[in-house]
Chain A
């Protein structure tokens, strides 16, 4: 296999082929391309590099090391599983956009310089918005527009930061940057990564846009954008201490929103945000153990999050509904989907023998090794929160709980294959984590399967489940209500337009007032002129000869005085 072809390029080429393939074959082309591209990236040896010169600058279009390869593998697995899930899609725009999106995300993790990274970074933004617009509804169009502005904004910051970095260091190479508040370059790049990683207050594009995408589009979206940002942070800012509190806040605040959110795909978007927080903490801690944990968690997370979005997508596909208040009892109609959802829920919650158990615990152990007690207890709170919104709420309200009376067909066969395969991987990682540990950036010295870890984790999760049962039985669990919950998007969807409206109305009132005043003054001058030039006015009336002589004498007198001075 040639190394002159950048990883992901096969997907980009396939995206150009798709429009010329008849509708029914498009999904198959995407699947084939993902499979070939996976073989291509498996053949890449760590240490492979490909540089080329561009207007005098050295660009490194392929930089394959253990960090980029780990992300390269999981991005390919995600692309492959998403392509199976989306086999029925005939819409060329969606298939092509999905391929370009996956291909550019893969290209980005192998980019060795900031300029190449920027190109792929923007390509992921522009291609992915079509997965949202493909819903072809007015709300999806508007949410996609907001998403695009924010994502492209992140790219612009990255470009600005890269050029400043070039000016400061004379190099475009993308390695450890480190956050230095005195360096605008470093701050710009940090913020660019932070936006894409959904840092607190920069996060809301995620919950706003992902639930608006198509059934299959959300599965693609859940895998790439934010994990590309996690990769970029792990590459550029490992050990940056401010990331620890940022990550902790990210794990905590989405939990509360997830509890009260009715749209189950939006609950998953909040949950995605919470999971990113664990990874960001790991990058902030920055030890070998922590970075291994971050990469392992990103790997597992992509799978179980895609699985959860697949199951909710299947529910939406079959019933046309996704509100928790509208669903329930679907295990009767979609038993296999329900089981897959439970596997995803068990994985994200970190039940023993499921994937989250062997990855999240690495981050927690790394935090404990650094004696960060507050952070550690905070992450434990977040773990109980994950159990609430993803471990229980998602499967319970969709498949069990109150029977909505909806009876539908089980998900289509290709969706079932994708879901069962993903669920199988989640269980396999939980049972045999060693293949995953062997591809992590550093040698792994960690044993997840201890009696202590089993018992404490099960205590945490099952007592949380017990609390749920208790609250439901005493009717204290908040009912699911169809509603919109305000988040930071309120700032630009309501507050900013309202502020603009206020400025506009104050401005136009001021303008009206000034105009009125000016008209009044002009009117005054006109009437004054009219008055003095009127037949009986000062200049209009006939003056007597005596008065004329008197004024002439006064004038001559003044002239005389001035002459002598």
Chain B
């Protein structure tokens, strides 16, 4: 999309205050926090009364590793699909 009639809204202040997410330390802290929460979620599992629907989802930490692996597989499958279907942006224009 080109610069359209909306572009009058786009402005860059000469000097702007730094935003909290610009600080890599804070971003790192968020990532460590996520890791900690993930670890906690697996650790509390034995305390929770599980009622698995099938056999596989009763395995310890099933949803955790399933979520991680499936996510990675989806992203790589997407990359593979891109090889097949990606075309230049103006493909349908001519």
Contact = CB atoms under 8 A, between A and B. Distances in A.
Chain B interface size range: 35 or more
B63 A460 contact: yes
Contacts of A459: 38, 41-42, 45, 61, 63-64, 67
B68 A481 contact: no
A16 interface: no
B51 interface: yes
A400 B37 CA distance: 21
A406 B6 CA distance: 12
A462 interface: yes
A452 B48 contact: yes
Interface string B12-49: 11001001011000000001001101100110110011
B74 A259 contact: yes
Contact of B74 (A326, A385, A452, A455): A385
A319 B9 contact: yes
Interface string A353-387: 00000000000000010000100110011001101
A91 interface: no
Given A407-B10, A451-B49, A462 B72 contact: no
A468 to B, nearest CB: 7
A88 interface: no
Given A471-B75, A477-B75, A381 B86 contact: no
B89 to A, nearest CB: 5
A256 B78 contact: yes
A485 B1 contact: no
Given A256-B77, A259-B75, A368-B53, A467 B89 contact: no
A260 B79 CA distance: 7
Which residue among B22, B65, B87 has the maximum number of chain A CB atoms within 10 Å of its CB? B87
A132 B8 CA distance: 24
Contact of A451 (B6, B7, B48): B48
Size band of the interface chain A makes with B? 35 or more
B74 A256 contact: yes
Interface in A303-330: 316-323, 326
Nearest to A142: B92
B42 A485 contact: no
A319 B6 contact: yes
Interface in A403-417: 403, 405-409
B85 A487 contact: yes
A73 interface: no
A528 interface: no
Nearest to B3: A320
B19 A332 contact: yes
A167 B41 CA distance: 60
Contact of B87 (A451, A460, A466, A484): A484
Which of B21, B49, B71, B81 neighbours the largest number of chain A CB atoms within 10 Å of its CB? B71
B1 A466 contact: no
A2 B30 CA distance: 57
Interface string A237-258: 0000000000000000001110
A534 interface: no
Contacts of B11: 407-408
A455 B44 contact: yes
A125 interface: no
Contacts of B1: 320-323, 326
A384 B70 CA distance: 7
Contact of A458 (B35, B41, B85, B89): B41
A388 B71 CA distance: 7
Interface string A463-483: 111111111010011100111
A462 B85 contact: no
Contacts of B78: 255-256, 259-260, 478
Given A320-B6, A455-B44, A483 B70 contact: no
A462 B38 contact: yes
B70 A400 contact: no
Of A380, A461, A467, most B-chain CB atoms within 10 Å: A467
Interface of A: 255-257, 259-260, 316-323, 326, 331-332, 368, 373, 376-377, 380-381, 384-385, 387-388, 400, 403, 405-409, 451-452, 455-471, 473, 476-478, 481-487, 493-494
6 A-B pairs closest in CB distance? A259-B78, A320-B6, A368-B53, A467-B71, A463-B67, A459-B63
Given A259-B75, A260-B78, A380-B63, 7 more contacts: A259-B81, A332-B16, A377-B56, A388-B74, A483-B82, A487-B85, A494-B92
12 contacts: A260-B79, A318-B9, A320-B4, A377-B54, A388-B75, A408-B10, A455-B44, A456-B63, A462-B67, A463-B38, A463-B67, A483-B88
